[in-house]
Every structure is written in C-alpha cells, then in structure tokens.
C-alpha cells in the first residue's frame, strides 16, 4: 500500500500538516506514516557519550509515546496508520524511506521565512525538496481547512511539463478541482519559447481537460503571484521542480525556493 508520510515535531504547524495528510489519505485510501527525526549530536569526549546517549534514548522514547497516541487516535477514526522515530536529518531519512517504501506524498508543515524559526523550517523544507523525488506537500501554519477547489499551477511555459500536468489533472479529478495555469512575465525571466507555442502544445496534449490560463506581467515572480492570488483566490499552489546538477544549483537563484518560503497557501511540489 502507498504511504503518506507526515514528519511531526508535535508543534501546531506539523499537526496542521497532519490534517492535510488525513485529507489525502481518506481520498486515496493511503496509509499514514507518522515520522519523527532526532538529530544526532556531535560527540567530542567519552564523558559526553553516555550523557548524550541517555538524552537521545529519552527523546526517542518520548517521541514513540506521542506518535503511538496519535497513531491510535487515527486508527480509531478509521485510518490505517503507523509510526517510526529515526535518528538523522529529515531530508536524509526521507530519501532513505523512498528506497524502502512506496510513497505517494510527503506532507510537512512550514512556517515560511519570517524570523529565525521561519528561516530554519524554510531551509528544512528546501533541503527536503532537493533531496526527495516523491511529491511534496508543504502546509504553512496559516493554512485553513483542507480544500482544493481551485488549484494554480505556476509555470513559465519554457519546458515540457507534460509529466507533471498529468499528475496535476489526475489530482484535480479526485477533488473536483479547477486547474489554473499561471505564467508570470518578469523582465529578468529568460524567454526561449513563445508562450503561445507551449500553450497550444498543452491544449493539444490534453484536449479533454478544462483549465484556465493566466499570463500576468509583474516586476518579479513573487509580486506577480501575490497580485494574481489577490484577484483569483486559490486553495493550492502547484510547482514543478526540475532536478539539477551541482553547477545548475549554484547558478540558479531558485524561484521555486523563494515561492516556498513566501507562500501562505499549501503547496504541492512535483519533480520532473
């Protein structure tokens, strides 16, 4: 059975993500896997080893106790749920779990990029986004009740995103969602192909799909997205993130990462 993995640190933000994971699990009949990770401390002396090992054992026991309570509650509500506590970084742990399990979605909370905590969690979300290939849903703490009535897929119409659009339309069918394709034209965005060429290709590739297309001019992608969302309320932002080599990562300013840190709406990220 496919899993929806929910990283939990037991904060209100991560529990908000659990609400969305439950929404997905119920719709697709997926199993919920609750995950808590404990960072391994730096060990410098023999005296510290015993203390740190004892502290980690206590944290692991506390984690398992809380995860078990949440898991049992989910099972009472009719969900299939399991849990595990792992030692290590979240991004590395999720990458390893991809090798062991069939993962449908990873759903995690994020506070955005305001303040030190926001930067920390935002960085964690960026690390996960770069490390895993499974669809990643990020849930800001401002998110309301799960609802995907209107979906906006942010695109630049410069690459073939057919594989991602197939997933977006399939997702939309499950929830009865309307899909909006949004292109933000900013002065610094490199244009290789004309918008109309890619729009025609999408229409020909998906002749039976109903969707809207918006091309918006703005000073920046972030500003343009804000302006669009003020005029056209949506419940979910979808991004396609291309896996990059090391050089491309160094050269790229990562518009996707800036949107992830900035967004106050739930965001679904596909890799292609």
Q: Taking the model in full, what pTM does it have?
A: 0.85
DSSP code, position 237: E
Which residues are CB-contacts of 214 (< 8 A; sequence separation ≥ 6)?
180, 181, 182, 183, 228, 232
Residues of CATH 3.40.50.620 domain(s) within the chain? 3-140, 150-266
What top-level class would CATH report for the domain 3-140?
alpha beta
Distance CA 109, CA 99 (A): 23
Model confidence band, residue 245 (pLDDT cutoffs 50, 70, 90): very low
pLDDT at 119 over 50: no
Residue-wise pLDDT for 139-154, tens only, equals 988 888 999 999 999 8
pLDDT at 115 over 50: no
**The domain defined by 150-266 carries CATH number 2.40.50.70:** no
pLDDT at 49 over 90: no
Q: Which residues are bridge partners to 182 per DSSP?
A: 154, 214
The pLDDT of residue 120 is 40
């Amino acid at each position: 059975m496919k899993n929806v993995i929910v990283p939990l640190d037991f904060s209100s933000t991560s529990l908000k993500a659990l609400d969305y994971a439950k929404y997905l699990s119920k719709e697709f009949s997926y199993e919920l896997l609750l995950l808590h990770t404990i960072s391994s401390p730096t060990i410098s002396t023999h005296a510290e080893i015993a203390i740190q090992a004892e502290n980690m054992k206590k944290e692991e026991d506390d984690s398992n106790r809380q995860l078990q309570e949440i898991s049992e509650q989910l099972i009472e509500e009719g969900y299939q749920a399991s849990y595990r506590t792992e030692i290590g970084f979240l991004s590395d742990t999720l990458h390893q779990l991809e090798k062991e399990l069939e993962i449908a979605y990873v759903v995690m909370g994020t506070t955005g990029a305001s303040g030190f905590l926001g930067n920390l969690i935002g960085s964690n979300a960026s690390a996960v986004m770069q490390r895993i290939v499974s669809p990643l849903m990020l849930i800001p703490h401002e998110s309301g009740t799960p609802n995907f009535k209107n979906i906006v897929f942010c695109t630049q119409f410069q690459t073939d995103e057919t594989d991602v659009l197939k997933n977006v339309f399939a997702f939309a069918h499950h929830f009865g969602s309307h899909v909006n394709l949004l292109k933000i034209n900013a002065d610094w965005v490199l244009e290789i192909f004309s918008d109309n060429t890619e729009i025609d290709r999408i229409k020909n590739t998906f002749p039976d799909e109903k969707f809207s297309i918006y091309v918006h001019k703005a000073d920046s992608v972030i500003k343009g997205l804000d302006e669009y969302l003020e005029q056209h309320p949506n419940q979910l932002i979808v991004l396609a993130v291309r896996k990059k080599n090391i050089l491309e990562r160094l050269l790229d300013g990562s518009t996707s990462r800036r949107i992830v840190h900035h967004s106050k709406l739930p965001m679904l990220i596909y890799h292609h």
